[in-house]
Structure 1
Amino acid sequence: MKLNEQPVLQAAFFMMHPDLQSIKTLLDDRVAKYNQPAFVPNDPVSIPHRFTQKQDIEISGFFAAILAWGQRKTIINNCLKLMDLMDNAPHDFILHHQEQDLTRFLGFKHRTFNDTDLLYLLHFFRWYYEQHESLETAFTGEQNQLLTQQDRLEHFHNLVFSLEDAPQRTRKHVATPARKSACKRLNMYLRWMVRKDNCGVDFGLWDTMRMSDLICPCDVHVERVGRRLGLITRKGMDWLTAEELTAHLRTFDPTDPVKYDYALFGLGVEEKF
């Protein structure tokens, strides 16, 4: 398809499906409302916004995303505690800490995520950042050979747990489509790292993945609103459901479907749609 043909075909599609045009109008309105700096302070994305160095944003953002389940206030407080334990310099701490420095993490807990999980992930990040400049290639592959989000997330999971002392219990905290997971938290993390706009929420640090590649993060709020709008028809919530939702969102914006995550989340949490 030629680039200039896309808007024409999209307009024809909406003429055939006028109900979708009204949904698009609703969601575009809510994107404008929620994808802005006022959204940041009360969301886990506020944690990486405390940093300016790329690697600090990557690491703090990863932990903020992995811990993002439960009440947002509790998530943010525990993430702030974790950053404090890393001397508010996560990349420097991971690369240069001594073994005795790790005792400060004993007893850390967020829901079912505990110090065993945390210590292993710190170990993995040290191993990884001693060899790489950015976490991006942990998803895309060394030669950027992984082209689908499913392949990238499966590769990331396998890489994280490739070290010989990887605890079995920690695997549940780093989701993978191979287990049919919708991978809500990792998809949210990738949205933070990849989406580029001038709205001040996402970071757009990574260039290999396109915004059109992203899969919409699906939590209970996004799922509920998506079903009410007819954007989700599959029973249950798994990887294929997240792909289905994203495919519908691509009819609204083929180049940036995941911007509608803010609209769906805002409608569900703030407006109880």
Structure 2
Amino acid sequence: MPGDLITFFDNKVKEYNQPSFIKDDPISIPHQFNRKQDIEIAGLFAAIFAWGNRTIIINKTKDLLQRMDNAPYDFVKDHKQTDLKNLLGFKHRTFNDTDLLYFVHFLNHHYRQHKSLEDAFAQHMTKEDRTVEKGMNGFFNYFFSLEDAPARTQKHIASPEKNSTCKRLSMYLRWMVRSDNHGVDFGIWKKIKPSQLICPIDVHVARVAYRFNLLNRRQLDWQAALELTNYLKKLDKNDPVKYDFALFGLGVVEKF
């Protein structure tokens, strides 16, 4: 990439990676909380729901959290069977209350043994891994390891093994892992390195990537996500996914 284009992308990162970005984005949901576990859980649901209109995504996630008394960690950890009635009837696109009840069941199971949701990914990785691929595959298998896991819920958790772009999980990991002084991403997970992250890719990001010759692969799958991220590592090997701000801003906000 020519130097002037690198400057252009760096400037776009600065333009969108700032607090004013938060209010209209699903990342605004976990920003309503201070406790690490609340941020993790609220962020997971906001990311899993993140397809389609951003306003609807935000409102649906707020609806869910209100059903949990806006205390998601306390709810998943301490709920009684009768409390689960509050979740019945919840629906966002193809995600319904069957999926939701299993998510709560898994989170309850996980937090009984771990203090952070980071371990659900990091326990499958080493510091030497080039990417979070093993962490994502391990998370999928761990998530659905409980005996009553509904088959229908599998479509809501992507994995590289299934050759998905894993856009929503990649975005979630960006939120939790990336750390800078701009106040958007949280940087509360330390066992995974920013250099291991994969850039979230969808049709909007891909359109911008094609336009600037950052991506050749035409099929939007895990290999495309790897190819794009490998290019971005040429620009910043330690923090390639910061360019998600530029690609998203150009593609979704500016309709580039």
What is the aligned partner in structure 2 of residue 200 from structure 1?
183
CA shift for structure 1 position 235:
1.6
Give the residue type in structure 1 aligned to 2:40.
E
What is the aligned partner in structure 1 of residue 142 from structure 2?
159
> 2: CA distance between counterparts of 1:93 and 1:107?
17
What is the aligned partner in structure 1 of residue 50 from structure 2?
68
Q: Which moved more, 1:217-226 or 1:33-42?
A: 217-226
| 8 Å Cα contact 1:137-1:144 kept in structure 2 | no
CA shift for structure 1 position 146:
8.2
What is the aligned partner in structure 2 of residue 170 from structure 1?
153
Give the residue type in structure 2 aligned to 1:24.
I
Question: Which structure 2 residues correspond to residues 175-190 of structure 1 after superposition, within 5 A?
Answer: 175-190=158-173
Please, which of 124, 133, 137 is the counterpart of residue 150 of structure 1? Answer: 133
What is the aligned partner in structure 2 of residue 224 from structure 1?
207
Please, what TM-score do these two structures have when normalized by structure 1? 0.91
Cα deviation code 1:225-261 (max 9, x no counterpart): 0111101101210001001000111111111000000
What is the aligned partner in structure 2 of residue 257 from structure 1?
240
Question: Which structure 2 residues correspond to residues 38-53 of structure 1 after superposition, within 5 A?
Answer: 38-53=20-35
The DSSP-based 3-state class of the residue aligned with 2:164 is coil
| 8 Å Cα contact 1:83-1:90 kept in structure 2 | yes
> 1: CA distance between counterparts of 2:128 and 2:158?
17
CA shift for structure 1 position 20:
3.2
| 8 Å Cα contact 2:26-2:50 kept in structure 1 | yes
| 8 Å Cα contact 2:29-2:43 kept in structure 1 | yes
Q: Which moved more, 1:19-28 or 1:130-139?
A: 19-28
Question: Which structure 2 residues correspond to residues 96-175 of structure 1 after superposition, within 5 A?
Answer: 96-141=78-123, 147=129, 148-175=131-158
Give the residue type in structure 2 aligned to 1:105.
L
Q: 1:253 to 1:142 in 2, by over 3 A?
A: closer
Give the residue type in structure 1 aligned to 2:87.
F
What is the aligned partner in structure 2 of residue 37 from structure 1?
19
| 8 Å Cα contact 1:146-1:152 kept in structure 2 | no
Give the residue type in structure 1 aligned to 2:53.
Q
CA shift for structure 1 position 145:
7.4
CA shift for structure 1 position 23:
2.3
Give the residue type in structure 1 aligned to 2:195.
S
In structure 2, list runs of 5 or more residues that go unmatched: none
> 2: CA distance between counterparts of 1:48 and 1:153?
21
Question: Which structure 2 residues correspond to residues 236-247 of structure 1 after superposition, within 5 A?
Answer: 236-247=219-230
CA shift for structure 1 position 143:
8.1
Q: Which moved more, 1:108-117 or 1:20-29?
A: 20-29
Please, which of 83, 102, 111 is the counterpart of residue 65 of structure 2? Answer: 83
> 2: CA distance between counterparts of 1:271 and 1:143?
36
CA RMSD of aligned residues (A): 1.3
State the identity as a percent. Answer: 56
> 2: CA distance between counterparts of 1:160 and 1:260?
29
The DSSP-based 3-state class of the residue aligned with 1:24 is helix
Give the residue type in structure 2 aligned to 1:37.
P
> 1: CA distance between counterparts of 2:92 and 2:227?
31
Please, what TM-score do these two structures have when normalized by structure 2? 0.97
In structure 1, list runs of 5 or more residues that go unmatched: 1-18
Length, aligned pairs only: 255
The DSSP-based 3-state class of the residue aligned with 1:41 is helix
CA shift for structure 1 position 271:
1.3
What is the aligned partner in structure 2 of residue 58 from structure 1?
40
> 1: CA distance between counterparts of 2:92 and 2:32?
20
- The structure with the largest alpha-carbon Rg is 1
